[in-house]
Chains A and B, each alone.
Chain A
Amino acid sequence: DVLMTQTPVSLSVSLGGQVSISCRSSQSLVHSDGNTYLHWYLQKPGQSPQLLIYRVSNRFSGVPDRFSGSGSGTDFTLKISRVEPEDLGVYYCLQSTHFPYTFGAGTKLELK
């Protein structure tokens, strides 16, 4: 199975600040169709996860442009700028290039 390593495990940020979360995969996430199936989710406390970014850098409907995704191959980053209170929670990366789909362990974003 593809191992997804997320760092850091937790982050403290001030409102209005900027953070980056890293996600590294144990093998390339480039699919044979040429696409890279790496996605980002946010799980707010007591809620189901919600899709933020799909296929590395595409924001899902309604996701503010404060969220941006980048990367290629095995190394990916989620950046959040101008952090707002509703951004707090646990962020997960997911790869769906290889079966079984696998998630990172999560990065908890907290207020400083």
Chain B
Amino acid sequence: QVQLKESGPGLVQPSQTLSLTCTVSGFSLTSNSVHWVRQHSGKSLEWMGRMWSDGDTSYSSAFTPRLSISRDTSKSQVFLKMNSLQTEDTGTYYCARNGLGPFDYWGQGVMVTVSS
């Protein structure tokens, strides 16, 4: 079955770089896009960017130029890197598959706190 799982540090210091990994199973990264979505605690959802199935990327202007998304198809992994983190980057980060809808399957999310 389709599964996505985010992993990464729960705590990042201000001005540092956030690195997250989304490991997928049950589908191929060369067949489906994968998105990254952020949610501040108790707030709505914010689309960050997309790794297309052909390897291209799209980003929300709210995060460029500090956001980068890449992948390793051999490991079925999609990576998020975002630099210059600030306290307002604290939140839960999700990866989600693009299928029938833009996010038809989601990971469990990883909570990231930006604090010194």
Contacts and interface: CB of A to CB of B under 8 A. Distances in A.
B10 interface: no
A39 B101 contact: yes
Main secondary structure of the interface of B (DSSP, over half): loop
Contact of A92 (B44, B60, B61): B44
A96 B35 CA distance: 12
B44 A48 contact: no
B103 A103 contact: no
Interface string A26-41: 0000000000010101
B58 A99 contact: yes
A104 B106 CA distance: 18
B91 interface: no
Interface in B45-75: 45-47, 58, 60-62
A86 to B, nearest CB: 17
A48 B108 CA distance: 6
Contacts of A48: 94, 106-109
Query: What's the interface size class on A, roughly?
Result: 20 to 34
A60 B104 CA distance: 8
A102 B102 CA distance: 11
Nearest to A49: B106
A41 B45 CA distance: 11
B94 to A, nearest CB: 6
A107 to B, nearest CB: 11
Contacts of A58: 100
Interface string A52-66: 001100101000000
Contacts of B61: 100
Interface string A70-91: 0000000000000000000000
Interface of A: 37, 39, 41, 48-51, 54-55, 58, 60, 92, 94, 96, 99-106
